[in-house]
């Protein structure tokens, strides 16, 4: 265990701020990710907030602005729990970096996604108590942590449309896997926006503001946007590119690992797939011949509408090198592009191309 109570074999992309993911095999075969294995993505130092004096402000386009303590939230609203996957928009960026370098962004593997059972209160109930005015179209979240990697330094925040905020199972969570939320994961209270990119699940939540427009926070207006391939991200300003919201269908092979040396013969192949808001994983295909032919994987349990789905199959691997590829299909019939070239973008978000691992079999 290290400072943040994470397993010792975490792939650490940075310590200040702390950014780390579990090795792929550690995510295999379990729907709920243990706390010590759950990835963490931070843009600034982790704030140390005193839960006793902490308050949540609810303001903006509401009839009754609110100031709520943790106790007010616990006693004033029903406690809700749900299993939800968080997926960083930068998950699998390493595959994009292989196409063309992405300076200034960490090369995350397939572990920038994890699943927890979250408990807290529904955002919808809190907004109902405040009384949303008819002009309210977006709900903005603000936190105290400041990113010094942006120039000038930027506080963290983001927003979601009102329809998702009131109808999308959005939680204000104080517990993760039935344990009090840790400082690293957003204590005392964080947003969990199921089915949306992790960036919208704002940690260390201090303010919820109803607005006509999306948040003008840097991380909503400028970062987490998909720019065209030729754009210079250093010159991108507020509103440029496509704002990322609902997660795009994705999958990753978790076992065997890339570069593994195996014995020839029947080999178990496992992974996860995740479809994001409004869709479910309908099918996962695995290929050993570059996509000329496909085996349908067995899908594991669907733990509610907001959880990833694990899958597995067995395939006969011959001697020598094999590239195993996997692609998922969602309930809309959409699937994933073959190549990372097809989706390369200057900030390295949403690498949804086929997952591939290269293994070598020798007797």
Residues of the shown chain interacting with ligand MTE in the complex, contacts defined by CB under 6 A:
38-43, 86, 88, 143, 145, 156, 185, 198-199, 201-204
- Alpha-carbon distance 14 to 34, whole Å? 21
From the list 127, 199, 275, 288, which residue makes contact with Mo ion (rule: CB under 5 A)?
Answer: 199
- 41 or 356: whose CB is closer to ligand MTE? 41
Which one of ligand MTE, Mo ion, none is in contact with 218 (Cβ closer than 5 to 8 A by kind)?
none
- 108 or 311: whose CB is closer to ligand MTE? 108
Which one of ligand MTE, Mo ion, none is in contact with 204 (Cβ closer than 5 to 8 A by kind)?
ligand MTE
CA angle, residues 180, 183, 36, in degrees to nearest 5: 70
Please report whether residue 41 would count as binding Mo ion according to CB under 5 A.
yes
Nearest distance from residue 314's CB to ligand MTE, in Å? 32
Give the position of tokens 């995510």.
27
- 307 or 350: whose CB is closer to Mo ion? 350
Closest residue (Cβ) to ligand MTE? 198
- Tell me how crowded residue 320 is: count the other CB atoms within 10 A of its CB: 10
Nearest distance from residue 19's CB to Mo ion, in Å? 9
Nearest distance from residue 260's CB to ligand MTE, in Å? 27
CA distances from 164 to 133, 170, 248 (A): 16, 7, 16
HEC letters along the chain: CCCCCCCCCCEEEEECCEEEECCHHHHCCCCCCCCCCCCECCCCCCCCCCCCCCCEEEEECECCCEEECHHHHHHHCCCEEEEEEEECCCCCHHHHHCCCCCCCCCCCCCCCEEEEEEEEEEHHHHHHHHCECCCCCEEEEEEEEEECCCCCCEEEEEEEEHHHHHHCCCEEEEEECCEECCHHHCCCCEEECCCEEHHHCCCCCCEEEEECCCCCCHHHHCCCEECCCCCCHHHCCCCCCEECCECCCEEEEEECCCCCEECCEEEEEEEEEECCCCCCEEEEEEECCCCCCCEECEECCCCCCCCCEEEEEEEEECCEEEEEEEEEEECCCCECCCCHHHHCCCCCCCCCCCEEEEEEECC
Nearest distance from residue 271's CB to ligand MTE, in Å? 20
Which one of Mo ion, ligand MTE, none is in contact with 349 (Cβ closer than 5 to 8 A by kind)?
none
For β-strands 261-262 and 355-361, DSSP reports them as parallel
Nearest distance from residue 302's CB to ligand MTE, in Å? 22
- Alpha-carbon distance 156 to 42, whole Å? 10
Please choose, out of 34-42, 78-86, 267-275, 281-289, the segment that lies near Mo ion by the rule CB under 5 A. Answer: 34-42
Nearest distance from residue 225's CB to Mo ion, in Å? 13
Please choose, out of 101-109, 139-147, 199-207, 213-221, the segment that lies near Mo ion by the rule CB under 5 A. Answer: 199-207
- For Mo ion, how many residues bind (rule: CB under 5 A)? 4
- 199 or 343: whose CB is closer to Mo ion? 199
- 164 or 203: whose CB is closer to Mo ion? 203
- 111 or 300: whose CB is closer to Mo ion? 111
Please choose, out of 22-30, 62-70, 197-205, 234-242, the segment that lies near Mo ion by the rule CB under 5 A. Answer: 197-205
- 154 or 335: whose CB is closer to ligand MTE? 154
Please report whether residue 198 would count as binding Mo ion according to CB under 5 A.
yes
For residues 83-102, which are near Mo ion according to CB under 5 A? Answer: 88
Nearest distance from residue 336's CB to ligand MTE, in Å? 20
Please report whether residue 309 would count as binding Mo ion according to CB under 5 A.
no
Q: From 205, 130, 115, 188, select the one nearest 162 (Cα to Cα).
A: 130
Nearest distance from residue 86's CB to ligand MTE, in Å? 6
Nearest distance from residue 220's CB to ligand MTE, in Å? 11
Binding site for Mo ion (CB under 5 A): 41, 88, 198-199
């Amino acid at each position: 265990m290290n400072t943040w109570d994470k397993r010792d074999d975490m792939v650490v992309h940075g310590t200040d701020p702390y950014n780390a993911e579990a090795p792929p095999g550690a995510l295999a075969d379990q729907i709920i990710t243990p706390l010590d294995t759950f990835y963490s993505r931070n843009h600034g130092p982790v704030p140390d907030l005193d839960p006793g004096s902490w308050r949540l402000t609810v303001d903006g386009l509401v009839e009754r602005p609110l100031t709520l303590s943790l106790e007010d939230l616990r006693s004033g609203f029903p406690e809700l729990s749900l299993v939800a996957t968080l997926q960083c928009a930068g998950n699998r960026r390493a595959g994009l970096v292989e196409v063309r370098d992405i300076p200034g962004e960490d090369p995350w593997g397939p572990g920038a996604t994890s699943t927890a059972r979250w408990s807290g209160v529904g955002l919808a109930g809190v907004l109902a108590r405040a009384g949303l005015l008819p002009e309210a179209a977006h709900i903005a979240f603000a936190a105290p942590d400041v990113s010094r990697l942006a120039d000038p330094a930027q506080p963290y925040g983001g927003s979601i449309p009102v329809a998702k905020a009131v109808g999308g199972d959005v939680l204000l969570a104080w517990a993760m896997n039935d344990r009090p939320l840790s400082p690293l994961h957003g204590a005392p209270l964080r947003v969990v926006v199921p089915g949306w990119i992790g960036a919208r699940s704002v940690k260390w939540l201090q303010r919820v503001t109803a607005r006509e427009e999306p948040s003008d926070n840097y991380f909503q207006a400028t970062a987490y946007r998909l720019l065209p391939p030729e754009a210079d991200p250093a010159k991108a300003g507020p509103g440029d590119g496509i704002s990322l919201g609902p997660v795009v269908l994705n999958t990753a092979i978790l076992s065997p690992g890339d570069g593994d040396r195996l014995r020839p013969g029947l080999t178990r192949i496992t992974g996860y797939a995740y479809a994001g808001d409004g869709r479910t994983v309908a099918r996962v295909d695995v290929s050993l011949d570059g996509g000329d032919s496909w085996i349908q994987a067995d899908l594991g349990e669907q733990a509610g509408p907001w959880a990833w789905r694990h899958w597995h199959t067995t395939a006969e691997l011959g001697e020598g090198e094999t590239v195993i590829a996997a692609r998922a299909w969602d309930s809309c019939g959409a699937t994933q592009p073959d190549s990372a070239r097809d989706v390369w973008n200057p900030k390295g978000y949403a690498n949804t191309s086929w997952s591939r691992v290269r293994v070598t079999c020798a007797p």
